[in-house]
Structure 1
Amino acid sequence: MSNIHQFSSKDAIQAKASRWISAMDRGLSAQERQQFQRWVKENKAHQDAVFELAQLWDELSVLNELSSLFPNKHGINKPARKTTHFSIAASIFAALLIASFMFIGIEHWPSAPHEQAKYSKIYRTKVGEQATFVLPDSTIVQLNTNSLLEVAYTKSRRQLILTRGEGRFNVAKDAARPFTVMAGDKSFTALGTVFNVQRNAASDLELVVTEGKVMITDPSVAVNADDFVQLQNASNDTAKVKNINASIVISGEKAVIKESITKPITRLTQDDVQRDLAWQQGMLIFNGEPLSDALQEVSRYTATRFELADPRLASLKVAGVFKAGDIVGLLDSLRLNLAIEHERLGEHIVSLKQSDHG
């Protein structure tokens, strides 16, 4: 008899629980419901892990499923409030989850292979909201404020469309199914990686790679499994990359696309990365950006809009760390550091002007 308990660590239990939670999100079959109930009853730690992870999940369908399976469990029929703490907790859990996947060699998704191959769903966040999702292949996606992501998996490829907003993609390795995020008029194909895509407009995009590398192409370029294998060790000097007019961006680099043109790729310092990706911890970091740019970034997280009474204010430099969506904190900082006063012209409009004593 095999040693069936050899991987019953906390990380292994959490990893298993995350796959069951995702399965509930897409809908359990009758057989899966029975398998899930057996697994939960094996150990109280299994049940605790499921209910703990469910509080971080974005879909009410999960909590409703748990309520029907375990009607006596208190506190599972109410969605958890969206707070920065949950975003941080989800990010930490995601890191633990990836480590446990690598360590224990978890088996495939609970459903049959032919069911796993075909998966489609739309994920979204509201203005000011951030959420973390685990996809069926164990890829982890973190969406920023006001984002819309369409996911479509087939047997031969994993294709996602970022219709608006920003997302961080921690991609599960699968050489047989390339992973591509389409945003505007560009495609970003992961070559074993963690990366961040921000869509400002159809022709204005930003890519930051924090692990591995990503290939930027036009959407018309389809990368199949054979291409993926050949491109694993590719660089911008590789003939195949040049032939398809692609760009390779590696860990610690940033690509900015303006009006559909990919600008020269830049190398980022650790501070640059922290500033660009601060949203993943619910924060915004400014280090000398013009006030107009800072206000535009702040507006992504709230319904509030800003008007400058004097156009010259637009070029003032802003520095500081702010909680995303904290308008009061921002206005206090502007008053104390730049002598900029504010006046509310309506529920969602704030006028900024230089103080008479500034």
Structure 2
Amino acid sequence: MSPYTPPRPASRPPLDAEEEARELEAFLRAQDPVDLAAADWHMRWEQGLDAEGERQLQAWLAEAPAHAAAFARLDRSATDLHAIAVDLRRAGAATAPVPAPVPAAEPPRAGRPRFSGWRFAGWRAWRPRLPRPAWVALCGMVLLVLGHGWWQLPGFEQDYAVARGQRQNVALPDGSVMHLDAQSRSRVSLYRDRREVHLAEGQAMFSVMPDRDRPFQVLAGSARVTVVGTRFSVRVEPLGADAGTVRVAVEEGQVQVQGQVQVQGRPVLAGHARTETADLRAGQVVVVAADGRVSAVAAVSPENIAPWRQGMLRFDSTPLAAVLQEMERYGPTGLVLDDPALGALLVGGSYRIGRVDEFASVLPRILPVRLVAGADGKTRILGAADR
């Protein structure tokens, strides 16, 4: 009797080259062309580029910010992908028969589809040099990019705009609260690994729910404010000599403020050229200039942190022109200032929002000015000696 031989498991017949190409082409057609081009360049870069190839890669990266971003995402994941590819090659080497000679690559066919300036035929030019595990690794690389893109999609995103004279309290899904002042605009984006608020205009007060796994960041003008859980205010100066500056004051907890350099209207972390940061605790304030410079940390009293929440405006040696501009956020004042010299006079004190009559009655007592009512219903602010 012959010895028993257990049956061998049925093996899947190998795909022929054309069927394999069709499968890959169908997969690639469903992906973002930029991600595919980045995967193509990254694989070629790792195999080694000559001087001309390096020049072409740098030119492609410089064509659009999306190109560099996609390539960077791949590069950050390269270590893990290399480990996967090595494991796949080892597994394939342990079970695969001796391979037959690889046929020469067929020349690119005319009319092959193009994806955003790079040719699909380029894949066929170097595909035969890669074993099948490398194809799997490449597809895994593309999927990882797409997965990273999914991870970067916000789970919640909403724009908010508050009209003149209004205020809005917004309860966010993470438990934080955003208090928006009049004439303020913001966008809230809650991601899986962070929380972001882009304050485009105006000022806001934030009460942040602690979450160490998802830092809370406010991006305003040239400043980036990062916290875990605290209460702080952010103000973007709209006009005048200080236009574009950002004021950050902390009421409770601790925040980090980082200056950002503006490149073509988009913020770039200042660390690329210099690093300017400030760590603030309760009762401290900094101002970030429009060019990303961060001021020295100063003290601020609690009542001067977002006093608009209590319906008050507080000024400390503030030019009269800036005072009137601030009051106009909450409604028309009817006060007209024609003389720039008078606009430079400094004002101090606390005033109730919406009570322009109270401010107007005090003004001649604290500054050398007089008020003259006009036939148009406006009140002009003139110098005390002017007639």
TM superposition score normalised by structure 2: 0.51
Correspondence for 1:275: 304
Match of 2:295 among 233, 257, 264: 264
**2: CA distance, partners of 1:345 / 1:312:** 24
Tell me the SS of whatever aligns to 1:262.
Answer: coil
Tell me the SS of whatever aligns to 1:137.
Answer: coil
Correspondence for 2:236: 199
Alpha-carbon deviations, 1:127-153, whole Å to 9, x = none?
Answer: 111121111111011111111111111
State how 1:301-340 maps to structure 2 within 5 Å. Answer: 301-304=330-333, 306-338=335-367, 339-340=369-370
Partner amino acid, structure 1, of 2:222:
D
How far did 1:250 drift?
2.2
**1: CA distance, partners of 2:299 / 2:374:** 38
Say whether the 8 Å CA contact 1:291–1:313 is kept in structure 2: yes
Tell me the SS of whatever aligns to 1:155.
Answer: coil
Tell me the SS of whatever aligns to 2:308.
Answer: helix
Correspondence for 1:284: 313
Say whether the 8 Å CA contact 2:217–2:224 is kept in structure 1: yes
How far did 1:247 drift?
2.7
**1: CA distance, partners of 2:334 / 2:291:** 28
Tell me the SS of whatever aligns to 2:164.
Answer: coil
State how 1:44-193 maps to structure 2 within 5 Å. Answer: 118-193=155-230
Say whether the 8 Å CA contact 1:119–1:153 is kept in structure 2: yes
Correspondence for 1:210: 251
- C-alpha distance 287-203 of structure 1, shift in aligned 2 (>3 A): closer
Alpha-carbon deviations, 1:324-355, whole Å to 9, x = none?
Answer: 132222212214444521435756x5421134
Alpha-carbon deviations, 1:168-212, whole Å to 9, x = none?
Answer: 011001111111111123211114321100011473111111122
Tell me the SS of whatever aligns to 1:261.
Answer: coil
Is the counterpart of residue 341 in structure 1 residue 342 in structure 2? no
**2: CA distance, partners of 1:357 / 1:199:** 36
Say whether the 8 Å CA contact 2:285–2:300 is kept in structure 1: no
Q: Unpaired runs of 5+ in structure 1?
A: 1-113, 223-239
Tell me the SS of whatever aligns to 2:237.
Answer: strand
Q: Unpaired runs of 5+ in structure 2?
A: 1-150, 261-266
Partner amino acid, structure 2, of 1:172:
M
**1: CA distance, partners of 2:314 / 2:244:** 25
How far did 1:264 drift?
2.6
**2: CA distance, partners of 1:175 / 1:353:** 55
Say whether the 8 Å CA contact 2:223–2:292 is kept in structure 1: no
**2: CA distance, partners of 1:258 / 1:304:** 29
Larger CA Rg, structure 1 vs 2: 2
Say whether the 8 Å CA contact 1:255–1:262 is kept in structure 2: no
Tell me the SS of whatever aligns to 1:216.
Answer: strand
**2: CA distance, partners of 1:169 / 1:209:** 10
TM superposition score normalised by structure 1: 0.55
Say whether the 8 Å CA contact 1:190–1:215 is kept in structure 2: yes
Identity %: 27
Alpha-carbon deviations, 1:285-343, whole Å to 9, x = none?
Answer: 22443322322222222234643343332233323321113222221221444452143
Correspondence for 1:300: 329
Q: Quote the RMSD (CA, aligned, Å).
A: 3.1
Say whether the 8 Å CA contact 1:309–1:352 is kept in structure 2: yes
Partner amino acid, structure 1, of 2:180:
L
- C-alpha distance 309-220 of structure 1, shift in aligned 2 (>3 A): closer
Aligned length: 223
Partner amino acid, structure 1, of 2:293:
T
